Copies of this chain bind each other. A is one copy, B any other.
């Protein structure tokens, strides 16, 4: 590998002068500058950022940790984060925890040893608190994305889950549905709790009873087993609509329903959180509460860089992003 010393020797100057040319600092005569630049090009020199990081105590690397790389919500978010990081002059180290605390811990260890300057952190759930405390201990700035973690005070970019849930349920209500099931994510995750709360709120506002038998839990990445749904639908007064807490759950519900011979929206309406990315043009065109995924990443990244470069001036800030109800054809008026 070509080093700064090779360039220095070749150009007949000291390493320090080369460093000055690279960083455009200090005084270097035009003549020397040109010569050094020429040698750097000829030898295809690229500075070793490890060495630089070591002395500067700054890596210019940020880390983005998401929980599901297969989910369009997160990949869109990732693009927002990536675009913004690049614009602001940082490299980005991706991590994918797969909603799994063990994997998440591995990534945190890696983050620490890499000495990244900051982390955009979409936690797997409440159990992520231990990992976030590790970051705090090492004074690595971070911004929480999408999910809140009890016991952790930090900058956050959060969606209006409760509100979005209420909108979805009220939409179903307006279509005449009164028996609405909720298939939720794990209660270990703040967004699942919020969506649950929004669901209850909407019922209450519309004087509908809350029926525990209509509420089921799944991991955000878990598949809805057929038995599971059959049980739900075998009740006395089965639901006529299902509110799935995220897109992944919605799709697996649709698939399982099909297995039972039921179709959407003819037999049941289905609505969910988060859009499907490029697949949203497929049938049943899902009625969703779409979150501005790109903004999650972009705003989070901006905040993170601000935090790194200017410190936490005014204490932790929370940005709450609204979700938008997009009515498509997976939900339809209940026939009487």
Q: Which residues of A contact B (CB under 8 A)?
A: 1, 44, 46-51, 53-54, 57, 59, 69-72, 75-76, 78-79, 82, 86, 91-94, 96, 106, 109-110, 112-115, 134, 137-138, 248, 251-252, 254-255, 258, 276-279, 281-284
Contact = CB atoms under 8 A, between A and B. Distances in A.
Contacts of A51: 54
Nearest to A286: B282
A82 B281 CA distance: 30
A211 B44 CA distance: 48
Contacts of A47: 113
Nearest to A248: B278
Nearest to A223: B278
Copies of this chain, how many?
Answer: 2
Nearest to A54: B50
A110 B93 CA distance: 11
A70 B59 contact: no
Nearest to A57: B1
Contacts of A110: 91
A50 B283 CA distance: 50
B69 A251 contact: no
A30 to B, nearest CB: 25
Contact of A46 (B71, B94, B96, B138): B138
Contact of A282 (B46, B91, B112, B283): B283
Given A92-B94, A281-B251, A283-B284, A113 B48 contact: yes
Given A44-B137, A79-B96, A59 B69 contact: no
A52 to B, nearest CB: 8
A326 to B, nearest CB: 15
Contact of A277 (B70, B93, B254): B70
19 contacts: A44-B134, A44-B137, A47-B113, A48-B54, A49-B113, A50-B53, A54-B54, A69-B78, A70-B278, A75-B75, A79-B96, A93-B93, A93-B94, A251-B278, A251-B279, A251-B282, A252-B281, A276-B282, A283-B284
